[in-house]
Amino acid sequence: MNRLNLIFIVDDDPIHQQIAKIMIERQGISQDMRTFSDAQEVLDYLQGYAGHGEPLPDVILLDLNMPVMDGWDFLEAYAGFQDSLPGNIRIYVLTSSIDENDRERVRAYSFVKGYLTKPLTRDVILQLAEQ
């Protein structure tokens, strides 16, 4: 199993943020996680990382349904600059939506590595570490 250096959890619900953090810590795949309630904060971080020497995340767990900037807006904006980032950030949509239309829409973004439904399970977390 690979350990991940940094995981971003992007979800407007603090309860879901906490559940994801606890589950990831229990599986021992990462001790460094940052939570964000607003997807715009993550975009700002990623676009400004070079000037600050901040590390890029290995994985982003992205909720789709959030106020202000939702996951869809994030994916659109990220698509415009992701090729300029060094390394490979693996993005997984982590949502409570079981709508097949959402699943299809996510497939249009080749950089999204998976569509996961809440809550995170042990098996899904272990898969994140192995990819």
What is the residue-wise DSSP string for 15-77? HHHHHHHHHHHHHTS-S-EEEES-HHHHHHHHHHHHHHTPPPPSEEEE-S--SSS-HHHHHHH
82 burial (CB, 10 Å; 0-12 / 13-18 / 19+) is middle
Whole-Å CA distances, 47 to 53, 80, 85, 88? 12, 11, 8, 15
Q: pLDDT of 69-87, one tens digit each?
A: 999 999 999 999 988 888 7
Report pLDDT for 59: 94
Q: Is residue 2 part of a domain?
A: no
Q: Which residue ranges in the chain fall short of pLDDT 70?
A: 1-2, 49-53
Residue 78 has which token pair?
A: 């990220």
The reported pTM is: 0.92
* Domains held by the chain: number: 1
Tell whether 1 is covered by a domain.
Answer: no
Residue that the structure tokens 């959030």 belong to: 66
> Could you list the residue range(s) of the whole structural domain that residue 55 is in?
7-130
In a domain, 75, yes or no: yes
Domain harbouring 90, CATH code: 3.40.50.2300
